[in-house]
Amino acid sequence: MEANERQEQLIADSLWVEQAIQFQLNRNDEVLRQIGSEIKSAKLKKEAVLERFSTILKNNREIQRIAWYDASNKVLVDTRESLQASAERLPLPHFEFGALDVSEETVCLKPVLEINAKNAYLMHCQIPLIRDERRIGSMMVSYRMNALLEELVPWWFAQDNQITITDIDDRILAERSAGGSGKNVYTHNRALELPSLTLVLRTNSIKTEPKLLSNLLVLSVILLSIGLIWSLLALWRDINRRLAAEGALRQQVTFRTAMENSLVTGLRARDMTGRLTYVNPAFCRMVGFPAEQIIGRIPPMPYWAPEAIEEYQQRFTQLLAGSVPSEGFETIYQHASGERIPVLIYESALIDEQGKQTGWMSSILDISELRRAQELTRQQEEKLHTSAKLATMGEIASMLAHELNQPLAAISSYTTGAVNLLQAGVIDRSLFQSALEKVNAQAQRAGQIIRSVHEFVKKREAAREPLQIADLIQSAMPLVELQAQASHVALQWKIRPKLPLVLADRVLLEQVLLNLTRNGIEAMQTTTPEKRILRVEAVLDDDNQHIIVSVKDRGHGIPAEVAEKLFSPFFTTKSAGMGMGLNICRTAIEFHGGKLSHHENPAGGTIFQFALPIQDYPSAAS
């Protein structure tokens, strides 16, 4: 009887698992067909289709990839483009359909072995897209066979059974055996009917045949144990009732005492006259006075700081009048040693069991560490600004050396030519003047490059001064040109004439401009040479209150999932980046009262822009 029950239970559970797999596959098919309907009605663009596909992948971990083909089996959208795993770079199979084949039924291929670190089997199913009795494309969804068992087979079933999926040739495509290998005592095979494909779901229980003797022994032990427990319960029933009441009271007292002693938040209670009636150990440690010295006292309290006496008296008067603040407030306490302690206080009314107010309860937080942490954070941010500038200079150091070689080589060439003319006895004033002018121009170019780098890396405190945005952009151009020339990027800039002055720190804004232009140049590494154009613009906004500086590239753009974390500290998509560049840029712009933002470039790529408030100065009016 027990063996038959186990076999019947195994069959029922196998049927349930088979139906669960079928249901999930059918549901995925319905979701994709709904997307296909929107594709056929031209309601979805490629970007929207990729986003919908990515959502399906996120919610259904048994699916590995989804792709959309056109009528000529060309891939239009493939989720592998948004993934980085090497296994995702394997090509997707596809069906070859005839011109008259307009069937809308899903077709599943025989699972194939995926050659990667896991060596798992993949099953590809294709959903045709038919419009006006004509095939306009198809969608391909790839399932990981092992994931079907891992995601769709409940843990309790996998714990008691070895589950495998095989094809009609008994080739094992997927296996799950959380509890070990099956004993081949209770087994069941269930056909898994898929579109154009039949697989077999095989379950093998890890249970062995029941043993009558062991069952009888277990039953005897259980019956004896029940009898013994019943006897003990009957004997100790009255004692346990009395001990339970005493233990509950003792436990409540112990728990309350331990809770109050372990709190790091100070607690104090006062009656309706303001007399202190209770303090916990944390409050005593906070103010440096033992409980017996302050309980029973009325204001003024010994832990009140002399410079805040008026504030304490005002708040105490409001409290006695029944005005309890709904939010916490900050103040200062004086420790017994004389040290000042910043604290955050929350007040609430004490209500007894009859609903009558008997006093006030206060919770006090020592925020000294918070204040020290805030000061340390401020200092660290200042250091990060300096470090980021040095990191930027490290990246352009090699290009700077290359760029200086050009004017130095030109100077050497012109001076050598002049020496050769002198040695040959040829005295031509115009040639000598032309050579010297060219030598002077190249020397000034090299000097300008060195001065720009020196001003950029010079460490100093942030100091605002009135400046012209046009002058700022022109001073940063030599460094930007260094980066652009190394990447074969063309520079364009458009600056509205006679822009108002802004009150800003020149070096901080140069750092922001260099960082944004460097990101734009790096984003166009894979762009075709004729489209590598970096454009810098400076205009006045519609309200004539801000100057908008824009850096426009025509690179690969920013995916939505990256855009959400773009300004987060230590988030980067670069292998050698620290993830602090854009965060520091935003901090620098907000330091000037402005805002840094980004959006998609209609011509392709991304537009980063920051807005700076203008300042009315006499020089600006002139």
pLDDT above 90 (res 249): no
- For residue 87, the model assigns a pLDDT of 40
Between strands 465-467 and 357-366, the pairing is unpaired
- For residue 548, the model assigns a pLDDT of 93
- Omega of the bond prior to 602 within 30 degrees of 0, cis? no
Residue type, position 540, single letter: L
Distance of CA 58 to the CA centre of its chain: 16
The average pLDDT across 514-536 equals 88
pLDDT above 50 (res 177): yes
pLDDT above 90 (res 549): yes
Name the residue with higher pLDDT: 105 or 102: 105
- For residue 93, the model assigns a pLDDT of 61
How far is it between the farthest Cα atoms of the chain? Answer: 132
The average pLDDT across 528-557 equals 89
Contacts of the segment 204-207: beta carbons below 8 A, 24+ positions apart: 204/161, 204/162, 204/163, 204/164, 205/6, 205/10, 205/160, 205/161, 205/162, 206/160, 206/161, 206/162, 206/177, 206/179, 206/180, 206/181, 206/182, 207/6, 207/160, 207/183
- For residue 612, the model assigns a pLDDT of 92
Cβ neighbours for 325, distance < 8 A, ≥ 6 positions apart: 347
Structure-block tokens of residue 508: 């901080």
Distance of CA 459 to the CA centre of its chain: 32
- For residue 566, the model assigns a pLDDT of 73
Q: Are 146 and 189 in contact (CB under 8 A)?
A: no
- For residue 621, the model assigns a pLDDT of 32
Given the structure tokens 């600004």, which residue do they identify?
385
- For residue 141, the model assigns a pLDDT of 92
- For residue 412, the model assigns a pLDDT of 81
Highest mean pLDDT among 95-99, 557-561, 567-571: 557-561
Distance of CA 214 to the CA centre of its chain: 56
Name the residue with higher pLDDT: 442 or 525: 525
Q: In what order do the strands lie in the sheet with 546-552?
A: 490-495, 533-540, 546-552, 606-613, 595-600
Between strands 533-540 and 490-495, the pairing is parallel
**Alpha helices, DSSP H, located in 279-367:** 281-287, 291-294, 309-320
Q: Are 520 and 486 in contact (CB under 8 A)?
A: no
Q: Are 351 and 547 in contact (CB under 8 A)?
A: no
Polymer length in residues for the chain: 622
Cβ neighbours for 498, distance < 8 A, ≥ 6 positions apart: none
pLDDT tens by residue, 491-519: 888 888 888 999 888 877 887 888 889 88
pLDDT above 60 (res 402): no
The average pLDDT across 349-377 equals 85
> How many CA atoms within 13 Å lie on the side-chain side of 528?
3
DSSP string, 431-488: HHHHHHHHHHHHHHHHHHHHHHHHHHH-------EEE-HHHHHHHHHHHHHHHHHHTT
- For residue 225, the model assigns a pLDDT of 92
Distance of CA 552 to the CA centre of its chain: 25
Structure-block tokens of residue 95: 């069906």
User: What is the C-alpha R_g of the chain?
Assistant: 39
Name the residue with higher pLDDT: 482 or 214: 482
Dihedrals φ, ψ of 374, to 5°? -65, -40
The average pLDDT across 21-47 equals 89
pLDDT above 90 (res 424): no
pLDDT above 50 (res 171): yes
- For residue 34, the model assigns a pLDDT of 92
**pLDDT-based confidence at residue 622 (cuts at 50, 70, 90):** very low
User: In this structure, is the dihedral angle defined by the CA atoms of residues 124, 125, 129 and 133, taken in order, positive or negative?
Assistant: positive
Closest to 301 measured CA to CA, from 309, 370, 422, 317: 309
Name the residue with higher pLDDT: 458 or 222: 222
Distance of CA 276 to the CA centre of its chain: 48
The percentage of the chain sitting over the pLDDT mark of 90, rounded to a whole number, equals 12
Lowest average pLDDT, out of 138-152, 323-337, 606-620, goes to: 606-620
Given the structure tokens 């994709």, which residue do they identify?
32
Q: Are 89 and 80 in contact (CB under 8 A)?
A: yes
Q: Are 565 and 571 in contact (CB under 8 A)?
A: yes
491/471 Cα distance (integer angstroms): 17
Cβ burial of 205 (10 Å; 0-12, 13-18, 19+) is buried
Name the residue with higher pLDDT: 607 or 394: 607
Cβ neighbours for 504, distance < 8 A, ≥ 6 positions apart: 464, 465, 467, 472, 592, 612
Strands (DSSP E) along 71-222, which ranges?
A: 75-78, 107-108, 112-113, 121-130, 135-144, 161-166, 172-176, 187-194, 197-205
User: In this structure, is the dihedral angle defined by the CA atoms of residues 435, 441, 444 and 446, taken in order, positive or negative?
Assistant: negative
CB atoms under 10 Å from CB of 570, counted, come to: 10
551/529 Cα distance (integer angstroms): 19
Q: Are 517 and 493 in contact (CB under 8 A)?
A: no
Closest to 19 measured CA to CA, from 118, 120, 157: 157
**pLDDT-based confidence at residue 301 (cuts at 50, 70, 90):** confident
Helix (H) or strand (E) holding 157: helix 155-160
- For residue 617, the model assigns a pLDDT of 41
**pLDDT-based confidence at residue 92 (cuts at 50, 70, 90):** low
Structure-block tokens of residue 456: 């950029």
The average pLDDT across 575-581 equals 49
The average pLDDT across 99-115 equals 73
